Amino acid sequence: MPSAPRLVVVVLFEGVDLLDVTGPPEVFALLRREVGDAAGHRVLLAAETPDPVTTSAGVRVLPDITFAELAGRNVDTLLVPGSVEVDGTGRARALAHPAVVGRVKELAARSRRVASVCVGAHILAEAGLLDGRRATTHWSTAAQLAADHPAVEVDADPIFIRDGDVWTGAGISACLDLSLALVAEDCGEAVALRVARQLVMYLKRPSGQSQFSVPLAPLSATRRTEELRLYVGRNLAGRLSVADLAAQAHVSERQLTRIFKTELGTTPAAYIESARVEAARNQLESTDATLDRIASACGFNTTDTLIRAFRRTLDTTPTHYRNRFRSALSTP
């Protein structure tokens, strides 16, 4: 590791999301606790003025340095948090104030790598830093990012994405996963794992980990669809064909497909596979069951089918997932 400190700059501005600001510095603080001065990172909160910045939570944060004081200094890691406004219907819209965008563009030009946290991706996009790149953001503003910046390849599913020297993270707690990935790049996987244990996290989630979890899918519009979802969850080891579900709902197979597409935004087969993958993920995280047993319990029948489903939905294998995402309780 280098002897000179790695300067990590977190951009502050009025209305910034609080966890976006405090999450990454906590990871680097725990890194220092684990490896001492060998960590080599120095975190600074930078703002336009030295005055306290009021976050979206109403908590005021005191900057360490102003943007003017950073002039001429090289930055190792530039972290850009985000901010949203919510309209009368509860819909969130990401903000990218021109003054903040300008400062980020200036700092990015002399930064080794740039990372956005949550809806901070919108600021990077406004600065032109995501053009031609693949990027993610919080799922609630992904459509806005894609519409406002067609030159950006938006993928709302992963918890973080690295494209060259630019990283983008998904919403809220994913800032910790993104920060751990930065630590892993600098200090190695073993050190990042030690920091993750200090955070009492499920170790370090791979970037392909989805933002979504099947049980957390939005509630459907009708009681019938909710009953179908519950039926799927209770009968994962069964056959669960489209014909079976149609009979359960007392509708035709064609009508069942329309119901799933309209109310859940997917097909019956895709939903069933997602539910089975979710159940398998839970077992991989919390048990030592063999892949054969997990495949059977979750309705995949064979290990090969389980592996193909994981590659298709999570871009990883069950074994790799277990090694990277086992809960602290099941880790020796």
Query: Do the domain assignments include residue 41?
Result: yes
Asked whether residue 319 falls in the same domain as residue 284, the answer is yes
Question: In three state form, how does the secondary structure of 153-219 look?
Answer: EECCCECEEEECCEEEECCCCHHHHHHHHHHHHHHCHHHHHHHHHHCCCCCCCCCCCECCCHHHCCC
Domain boundary at 198, 230, 250, which? Answer: 198
Identify any residues that bridge with 78 across adjacent strands, giving them in sequence order: 9, 114
CATH of residue 180: 3.40.50.880
Q: Place 227 in a pLDDT band, splitting at 50, 70 and 90.
A: confident
Residue 307 to residue 323: CA distance in whole angstroms: 15
Residue scoring higher pLDDT (99 or 260): 99
Domain boundary at 198, 226, 253, which? Answer: 198
Asked whether residue 66 falls in the same domain as residue 159, the answer is yes
Query: Do the domain assignments include residue 207?
Result: no
Residue 79: φ, ψ to 5°: -105, 125
Asked whether residue 15 falls in the same domain as residue 134, the answer is yes
* Site of tokens 């976050």: 55
Domain boundary at 198, 230, 262, which? Answer: 198
Q: Residues 118, 175, 187, 298: which is the catalytic one?
A: 118
Asked whether residue 165 falls in the same domain as residue 251, the answer is no
Q: Place 5 in a pLDDT band, splitting at 50, 70 and 90.
A: confident
Asked whether residue 155 falls in the same domain as residue 58, the answer is yes
Q: Average pLDDT for residues 61-83, to the nearest whole number?
A: 96
Asked whether residue 164 falls in the same domain as residue 222, the answer is no
State the pLDDT at residue 215.
Answer: 54
Active-site annotation holds for 175: no
- Containing structural domain, residue 21: 6-198
Query: Do the domain assignments include residue 204?
Result: no
Query: Do the domain assignments include residue 261?
Result: yes
Asked whether residue 223 falls in the same domain as residue 157, the answer is no
63 secondary structure, DSSP code: -
Residue 201 to residue 204: CA distance in whole angstroms: 7
Q: Average pLDDT for residues 168-194, to the nearest whole number?
A: 87
Q: Is the pTM of this model over 0.85?
A: no
Asked whether residue 135 falls in the same domain as residue 259, the answer is no
Buried b (16+ CB within 10 A) or exposed e, 159-183: bbbbeeebbbbbbeebbbbbbbbbb
The three-class DSSP label of residue 4 is coil
Asked whether residue 79 falls in the same domain as residue 125, the answer is yes
Asked whether residue 162 falls in the same domain as residue 44, the answer is yes
The fraction of the chain above a pLDDT of 70, given in percent, is: 90
Q: Average pLDDT for residues 195-214, to the nearest whole number?
A: 62
State the pLDDT at residue 332.
Answer: 35
CATH of residue 326: 1.10.10.60
Residue 261: pLDDT over 90: no
Q: How many domains does the chain have?
A: 2
Asked whether residue 247 falls in the same domain as residue 273, the answer is yes
Residue 168: φ, ψ to 5°: -130, 140
Query: Do the domain assignments include residue 219?
Result: yes
Residue 233 to residue 211: CA distance in whole angstroms: 20
Asked whether residue 171 falls in the same domain as residue 233, the answer is no
Mean pLDDT rounded to a whole number for the chain: 87
Residue 237 to residue 239: CA distance in whole angstroms: 7
Query: Do the domain assignments include residue 209?
Result: no
Query: Do the domain assignments include residue 205?
Result: no
Alpha helices by DSSP H, listed for 47-173, are 98-108, 121-126, 142-148
Residues 110-132 have pLDDT tens digits of: 999 999 999 999 999 999 999 99
